[in-house]
Chain A
Amino acid sequence: MAPPLKKILCIDDEDDILQVATLALEQIGGFEVSSCNSGKAGLEYVCKMPPDLILLDAMMPHMDGPSTLKELRKNPETGIIPVIFMTARVQPEQIQEYIAIGAVGVITKPFDPMTLSKDIALLWEKLHGA
């Protein structure tokens, strides 16, 4: 049985995406959601308040999703936190690339706010073999 998923950190440079994802995950999924608008801010936040799961935008200026994931993995305490990428890069090979570097799943943009929580819960269950 999968452990309960409670705390999710969303990292995305687009405020409108952060707001709608937060609203959907809190109101529909019942999760506790925090958000950061850059990879750097996300890394700082994770060290202070480690979430159960990170929802990470793949394409961001300065530090993109893959670079942020790489930094997370360098620290043993943050390296074990599962990461799901959010991306508008929808080619199958691009999605495979994210899985290959350690993402546990990929949510494609544009996402449906109504089903976002369910999609994440399914990936969480899959991760834990439930």
Chain B
Amino acid sequence: MALDKADLEALLAPLRQKYLVQLKTLLPEIEMIHSHLMEGTCSPKDMEILKYTAHRLFGSGSTYGFVAITKSARALEIELLNSGEPRDLAQLSTAFQTFLEACKDALNSTARES
């Protein structure tokens, strides 16, 4: 079956919507971890959740057309993997903030479309 990009986009639309619903559900938890990070109360469990989330969204963002999510999630993942103890909080926070904005932009863009 020969499908062009527009056909595929149409088929992907419901899955993309589902992806965004999941992202919307995930966002409060990520924002809470960001608050913990800023307050200096980030637990090892928070960091594990953040690493897993960044890795997962890096691996799926572009597939659904959200290139900024993939790029910022990768940058955050690298920051999380590279930063030793004590962490460079300023750098980590910047990467985290960019990632959060990319997630929010994706959600807002869809809100504008619908």
Residues on A facing B (Cβ under 8 Å): 14, 16-17, 19-20, 23-24, 27-28, 30, 59, 88, 109-114
A94 to chain B, nearest CB (A): 12
- Chain B residues with a Cβ under 8 A of chain A: 1, 3, 5, 7-8, 11-12, 15, 18-19, 22, 55-56, 58-64, 70
16 additional A-B residue pairs with CB within 8 Å, beyond A110-B62, A113-B8: A16-B22, A17-B60, A19-B15, A19-B18, A23-B11, A24-B8, A27-B7, A27-B11, A28-B1, A28-B3, A30-B1, A88-B56, A88-B59, A109-B58, A109-B60, A113-B12
- Check A110/B1 contact, CB under 8 A, given A16-B15, A23-B11: no
Q: How many A-B residue pairs have CB under 8 A?
A: 55
Determine how close the nearest CB of chain A comes to the CB of B82; give it in whole angstroms: 13
**Contact between B15 and A23, CB atoms less than 8 A apart:** yes
Taking a contact as CB atoms under 8 Å apart, the answer to whether A110 and B8 are in contact is no
Q: How far is the CB of B30 from chain A (nearest CB, A)?
A: 17
CB-CB under 8 A from A17, the residues of chain B are 59-60, 63
Given A27-B3, A110-B62, A113-B63, does the pair A14, B12 have CB atoms closer than 8 Å? no
A66 and B60 CA atoms in complex are apart in Å by 21
